Chain A
Amino acid sequence: MNSYLEFSRIGKSFGTDDGVFEALTDVSLAVDQGEFVSLIGHSGCGKSTLLNIVAGLEPATTGGAILEGREIREPGPERAVVFQNHALMPWLSCYDNVALAVKAVFGGRRDKADMHDWVMHNLELVEMAHAAQRMPHEVSGGMKQRVGIARCLAMEPKVVLMDEPFGALDALTRAKLQDSLMAIQARLEATVIMITHDVDEAVLLSDRIVMLTNGPSATIGDVVHVDLPRPRSRLELAEDPAFNHCRRRVLDFLYAARVPEPAAGGAPWRDDVGPREAADADGAGREAAAPGDAPRHSGRDRAA
C-alpha cells in the first residue's frame, strides 16, 4: 500500500469514431524506489498509454498513478521521459538541448557556472561531451538517444520513464547503450520504468518484467522477477540458466498471447531463431507502432 510508485487500478478508454475503445483496464502494480521495471507486450496493447499516464501527459480514465503518496495529475521533471525518437529540439545543439532542461528545472536555484558543469557532467555520463556543440542532425541515431538520456538524467528525476529508448537503434549500438544505462542506474539508483520489445534487453536490465496482455482491455498478465546479481554481464548471462529461464518465461507468455492454439510438438518457435525475433512477432495493432521499430520485425515470418 505504501509503495514508492503505485499504479492503482489504472484504466484508459479512448473515444473513437466507432464508439469507446478501452485500451487498459485495472492495471495495478507497486514499484519500489530504485527498482528497474520493464513493460513488455505486443504492439498496440497500451504500453505507451500506460507510460504517458505515469508521466502525467495523459489522464487515466479510471484509477491513477501515485508517486510518494501523491496522485499524478500533470507532467513534471521529477518524472522525466526518454522518448522513443529522442525528441531533441532540432534547432538546439546537443549541449543546448540538455541546458534547456537544466535551466527549466534548476534555473534560479543554481548559478550559471554550476548549471554549465551539470550539463557537461550529464553529457559525460552518456559519453557525449565531445559532441556537445554539434547539432542533432549532425550526430548518429545512437548519439541522439544518448543526449535524450542525458537530458532526462539532468532533471534529477525521481522516476525515469523510457518508451522503447533503444527501439530505433542497431543491435551493437543498442548493446552499448544498455551497458551504459546499467552502469548509470547502478550509480544513481534511479527508479526506472522502461518499455521494450526486446526480451533479452528486458531480462538483462530489469529487476522485474511486467507483461501486458493483448488489447483491447489490456492488463497485467504476468510478472517475472529477475533475480540475477548485479553488476550483470551480457556475456556471462548468455550461459546462465536463471537468465535463460526468465527469458523463456517471457517468451512463453508473449507467444501464448499471440497464438492461442500452440502447434503440435512442444515449443511453437524454432530454436535456431533468436528470441528477439520471436518476441517481436506483433499483434494486430501494428499501425499504432512507431515507425522506428519497423526494421526489427523482418524476422517474424521465420519465427512463426
Chain B
Amino acid sequence: MQVALPRIPITAAGRRLTLLARRSLIPLLGVAAFLIFWAGAARSVETSLGTFPGPAEVWSQAGNLWQEHLRERSRETAFYERQQARNDSLAARDPDAPIRWRDYTGKPTFFDQIATSLSTVAVGFLLAAAVAVPLGIVCGLSEGFYAAVNPVIQVFKPVSPLAWLPLVTMVVSAVYVSDDPLFEKSFVNSAITVALCCLWPTVINTTVGVAGIDRDLVNVSRVLKLAPLTHVRKVVLPAAVPMIFTGLRLSLATGWMVLIAAEMLAQNPGLGKFIWDEFQNGSSDSLGRIMVAVIAIGLVGFALDRLMLALQRRVSWDKQAILR
C-alpha cells in the first residue's frame, strides 16, 4: 500500500538552509548540550574551594581576567607617561642630569601568559622542526642510517617531558651562562623540553614520506643524474611534503600539550604557571580561573592545528588528499 506523501518542493533557498543547519546548527546544539550537562554536573561537585564552577562562573571569570588585563595595561601606560614626564622635566632643568629609564614590572596577566606560552611553543617547535626534517630526510634516504638511529628514536619517543626537564634544567644552567641573557633560563628550559618532545612525530613521518617516494620518480632523478642536493630539493622534499606536514601537525599538538606541564615545573611564565599559581592561591575564584585557562588551552591548540592545516593546504601539491 502506498501512502501519498505531500511533496515538499526543495528550493535553492531551502537547500541552503539545510546546509546551514548541518554546518552550524548541529555543532551549536552539541555545544549547548555539553554546557547544560556541565552546569548540571558542576553543581553536584563540592571541593574544598567551593562548588565546581559551571559555565556561568567560568564566563564571569573570563570577564574578570579581561578586566584585570585592561587595568594592568592602563597602569603600564600611566607608568611610562609618568616616567616620560619626570625625565623630560629633569632634562629641561639640567641637560647633563643622569636619566634613568625603567621597565614596567607589573604582574603578567592571563593574556600575557598566553602570549608567553605561544612564543615558547613556537621556539621549541621551530627548533624541533629544524632538526627533525633534515634528520627524517636522511633516515628516509639511507636505510643504513635509519637502522642505526632507529633504536635511539624508539627509546626516546615515549619519554615524558617531565623526565627530561630536570636534566635540561641542569644542562642549561651549566651551558647557558651570560650576564645579559637574551632569554630567561626558564624560557630556554621549557622551549628545549618542548623541542625534545615534538621532535619524534616529524622525524618518523618525514622518514616514512621520504622512504615511500614512488620508485619511478627516483629513477627519473637517476636517469637525469641529479646531484644529491638537487635530488633532495627537486624530488625528495616536494614528494615528502604531505607526510612532513602530517608530522609537523602532530608535533605542534604534542608540543602544546607538553608545554603546559613544562611550564608548571619550570616555573616559566605561561599558562602552565598561571594554573599552578591559581592552584596554590586557593581562593574561591581559583577553580573558575583555572577552568578559563583549560578552555583557552583547548582553543589555542585548536587554532594552532587549523593554522598548520591551512599552511599544509598552501604548500602541498596533493590537493586531492583529504585533510582533516
Contact = CB atoms under 8 A, between A and B. Distances in A.
Given A87-B217, A90-B318, A137-B320, A57 B224 contact: no
A230 to B, nearest CB: 28
Contacts of B225: 75-77, 104
B92 interface: no
Nearest to A58: B219
A172 B270 CA distance: 67
A81 B224 CA distance: 10
- Sorting the interface of chain A by its residue count into under 10, 10 to 19, 20 to 34 or 35 or more gives 20 to 34
A233 to B, nearest CB: 33
B238 interface: yes
A105 interface: yes
Contacts of B241: 91
Interface string A55-79: 1010000000000000000111101
A83 B222 contact: no
B84 to A, nearest CB: 55
A75 B318 contact: no
A75 B216 CA distance: 13
B200 to A, nearest CB: 26
B313 to A, nearest CB: 14
B317 interface: yes
Contacts of A87: 214, 216-217, 219-220
Contacts, number: 55
Given A87-B214, A87-B216, A87-B217, A75 B223 contact: yes
Interface in A31-63: 55, 57
Contacts of B238: 89, 91-92
Nearest to B237: A91
Contacts of A91: 238-239, 241, 317
Interface string B194-226: 000000000000000000001011011011111
A80 B222 CA distance: 10
Contacts of B127: none
A211 to B, nearest CB: 26
Contact of B224 (A55, A92, A101, A135): A101
B232 interface: no
A100 B224 CA distance: 9
B216 to A, nearest CB: 4
Q: Which of A57, A87, A92 has the most CB of B within 10 A?
A: A87
Interface in B309-324: 317-320
A89 B222 CA distance: 14
- Sorting the interface of chain B by its residue count into under 10, 10 to 19, 20 to 34 or 35 or more gives 20 to 34
Given A89-B238, A90-B318, A104 B219 contact: no
A85 interface: yes
Interface residues of chain B: helix, strand, loop or mixed (majority): helix
Nearest to B317: A91
A48 to B, nearest CB: 11
Contacts of B318: 90
Contacts of A92: 238
A72 B239 CA distance: 29
B223 A81 contact: yes
B219 A83 contact: yes
A57 B216 CA distance: 11
Given A90-B317, A90-B318, A137-B320, A104 B217 contact: no
B219 A81 contact: yes
Contacts of B230: 104
Nearest to A85: B216
A19 to B, nearest CB: 23
Contact of A57 (B222, B234, B319, B320): B222
A192 to B, nearest CB: 16
B224 A77 contact: yes
B226 A89 contact: no
Contacts of B257: none
Interface in B271-324: 317-320
A23 B317 CA distance: 38
A89 B217 contact: yes
A75 B235 CA distance: 17
Interface in A91-124: 91-92, 100-101, 104-105
Nearest to B222: A75
Contacts of B222: 57, 74-75
Nearest to A148: B220
Contacts of A135: 317
Contacts of A74: 222
Given A77-B223, A81-B219, A100-B224, 7 more contacts: A87-B217, A90-B317, A91-B317, A100-B234, A104-B225, A135-B317, A137-B319
26 contacts: A57-B219, A57-B223, A74-B222, A75-B223, A75-B225, A76-B225, A77-B223, A79-B223, A80-B223, A83-B216, A83-B219, A83-B220, A85-B216, A87-B214, A87-B217, A87-B219, A89-B234, A89-B238, A89-B239, A91-B241, A92-B238, A100-B224, A104-B226, A105-B224, A155-B223, A155-B224
